[in-house]
Amino acid sequence: MICHQPGQKVHQRFAELAKVEITKAPSTFKELGNLTRASIAVTLDMTGTKESDRILILGSGSGPSISQIGLVL
């Protein structure tokens, strides 16, 4: 799972809601802080994904909005 990471609590909550183990949800927030729109792309690049990997991507925005997408590389 790769998600937008405005903070550690949001990252943990996304993992809980998606029922994904936190160990399968890489975090860049601690090292790089809030990267705003770039957090998903940077995290995706840093994970070293490979062909046939399945990835759940989650994002959130201002107000009650959330988006998700599933990818198979």
Q: pLDDT digit string (tens) for 6-62?
A: 888 888 988 998 999 999 999 998 899 888 888 889 999 998 888 888 999 888 776
pTM of the model: 0.73
- Give the CATH number of the domain where residue 60 resides: 3.40.47.10
pLDDT of 71 > 80? The answer is no
What's the pLDDT at 62? 67
Helix (H) or strand (E) holding 56: strand 54-60
Number of domains composing the chain = 1
pLDDT of 64 > 60? The answer is no
HSE-CB for 21 with a 13 A CA cutoff: 2
Give the whole-angstrom CA distance, residue 73 versus residue 28.
Answer: 21
Domain limits for position 56 = 2-72
